[in-house]
């Protein structure tokens, strides 16, 4: 088994499912008392969030690259960035660590294509929904990406930062997310990417008429597969 390095804490609410699901996948494959070989660096998300809001992605990249380099020194053989948004600085992180990166968008696109879908709705932070670093990665893998309307994007973003990252799950927010997903389906989405690692805490397959693709689950499974293959 190879050792995974988890760059985590963005937020820690979604880091817990990563840790659990990677270990569950290893136990399912190997049985007995087997668990994953992991090293984890959990950042102070308040510092990263402040840099996001300031638009200082270069400094965010430097800080996360330093954390990734620490994972490499601790014995990690590949990197897992336990967040969608901070894949914006994935090149800096990969270069700073010298380790291969298991990219969340690649794993997600592969799962969607395996399901035979090509037109997909994307929920996430404003950065993920609006900027090219994530959407273009999906497009380059043969997917057409739909994002919510502007006011809907603001709602989705606000719920992530003000509620889900703080461990707050509200029924009224779940209902609003259902409305956003229904609108994406009306516009032709064949499935919905839960493109922030906290969104799976709020909605899933039961909340829409099309398949959902929980990036936390998909990424964790892909990481476990890499470690074991």
Distance CA 218, CA 132 (A): 21
Q: At a CB cut-off of 8 Å and minimum separation 6, what does 98 contact?
A: 69, 72
Which of the following is catalytic: 15, 83, 108, 197? 83
**196 catalytically annotated:** yes
Which of the following is catalytic: 85, 125, 165, 196? 196
**197 catalytically annotated:** no
Nearest to 47 by CA among 69, 63, 70: 63
Report DSSP state, residue 101: B
Sign of the CA dihedral running 91, 221, 124, 155: negative
Report DSSP state, residue 84: S
**Strand ranges (E), the chain:** 4-8, 38-42, 78-81, 119-123, 144-146, 191-194, 212-214
Q: At a CB cut-off of 8 Å and minimum separation 6, what does 50 contact?
A: none
Number of other residues whose CB lies within 10 A of the CB of residue 179: 11
Residue 169 token pair: 């799950």
Report DSSP state, residue 207: G
Would you please indicate which residues are annotated as catalytic (active-site) residues? 83, 196
């Amino acid at each position: 088994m190879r050792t995974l390095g988890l760059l985590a804490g963005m937020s820690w609410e979604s880091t817990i499912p990563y840790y659990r699901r990677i270990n569950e996948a290893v136990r399912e494959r190997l049985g007995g008392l087997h668990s994953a070989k992991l090293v984890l660096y959990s950042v102070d998300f308040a510092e990263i969030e402040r840099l996001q809001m300031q638009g200082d992605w270069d400094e965010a990249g430097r800080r996360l690259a330093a954390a990734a380099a620490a994972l490499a020194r601790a014995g990690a053989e590949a990197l897992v960035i336990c967040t969608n948004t901070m894949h914006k600085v994935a090149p800096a992180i990969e270069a700073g660590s010298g380790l291969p990166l298991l990219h969340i968008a690649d794993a997600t696109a592969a799962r969607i294509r395996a399901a035979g879908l090509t037109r997909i709705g994307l929920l996430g932070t404003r950065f993920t929904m609006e900027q090219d670093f994530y959407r273009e990665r999906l497009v380059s893998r043969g997917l057409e990406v739909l994002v919510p309307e502007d006011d809907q994007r603001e709602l989705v973003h606000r719920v992530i930062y003000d509620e889900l990252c703080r461990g707050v799950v509200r029924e009224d927010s779940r209902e609003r997310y259902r409305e956003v997903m229904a609108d994406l389906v009306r516009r032709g989405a064949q499935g919905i990417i839960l493109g922030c690692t906290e969104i799976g805490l709020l909605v899933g397959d039961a909340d829409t008429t099309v398949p959902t693709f929980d990036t936390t689950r998909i990424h964790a499974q892909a990481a476990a597969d890499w470690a074991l293959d």
